Amino acid sequence: MYETYWQLDTKPFENTSDSRFYYPSESHQGALLKLRYAIESRRGAALLSGASGLGKTLLVNALLRQLPESYSPVVRLVFPQMPPDQLLAYLADELTGERNPQTPTVQQSVQRIEHFLAHNVQARRHAVIVIDEAHLLEDLHSLETVRLLLNFELSTQAPLTLLLVGQPSLLPTLDRTPELDERLAVKCLIRRFTLDETVSYVNHRLLAAGAKRPIFEDEAIEALHGATHGVARQINRLGDLALLIGFAEERPILGAEQIHSVAEELVTVSPE
Residue 177 CA to residue 140 CA, distance in Å, equals 8
Q: Please tell me which residue, 272 or 2, carries the higher pLDDT value.
A: 2
Residue 116 CA to residue 121 CA, distance in Å, equals 9
User: How does the average pLDDT of the chain come out, rounded?
Assistant: 93
Is the Cβ–Cβ distance between 266 and 241 less than 8 Å? yes
Helix/strand/coil percent split, the chain, to 5: 50, 10, 40
Reply yes or no on whether the pLDDT at 266 is more than 70: yes
pLDDT reported for residue 56: 96
- Categorize the per-residue pLDDT at 81 as very low, low, confident or very high, splitting at 50, 70 and 90: confident
pLDDT reported for residue 80: 84
**C-alpha 132, offset from chain centre:** 8
The reply to whether the predicted model has a pTM over 0.95 is no
Sign, CA torsion 237/240/246/251? positive
pLDDT reported for residue 170: 93
Mean pLDDT of 134-143: 83
Reply yes or no on whether the pLDDT at 184 is more than 70: yes
Reply yes or no on whether the pLDDT at 236 is more than 80: yes
Complete DSSP assignment for 242-271: HHHHHHHTT-SSB-HHHHHHHHHHSPP---
Is the Cβ–Cβ distance between 99 and 105 less than 8 Å? no
Mean pLDDT of 208-230: 97
Q: Which DSSP state fits 216? A: B
How large a percentage of the chain has pLDDT more than 90?
80
Q: Which DSSP state fits 18? A: -
| Boundaries of every domain in the chain | 26-189, 193-265
pLDDT reported for residue 269: 45
- Categorize the per-residue pLDDT at 103 as very low, low, confident or very high, splitting at 50, 70 and 90: confident
- Categorize the per-residue pLDDT at 267 as very low, low, confident or very high, splitting at 50, 70 and 90: low
Mean pLDDT of 238-266: 96
pLDDT reported for residue 155: 67
Residue 161 CA to residue 24 CA, distance in Å, equals 23
Q: Which of 110-124, 146-160, 208-222 has the lowest mean pLDDT?
A: 146-160
> What tens digit of pLDDT does each residue of 32-61 get?
999 999 999 999 999 999 999 999 999 999
Is the Cβ–Cβ distance between 209 and 11 less than 8 Å? yes
Is the Cβ–Cβ distance between 232 and 224 less than 8 Å? no
pLDDT reported for residue 154: 66
CATH of span 193-265? 1.10.8
Residue 38 CA to residue 181 CA, distance in Å, equals 15
CATH of span 26-189? 3.40.50.300
pLDDT reported for residue 14: 93
Reply yes or no on whether the pLDDT at 153 is more than 80: no
Query: Which residues fall within 8 angstroms of residue 12, CB to CB, at 6 or more apart?
Result: 21, 205, 206, 208, 209, 211, 239, 240, 243
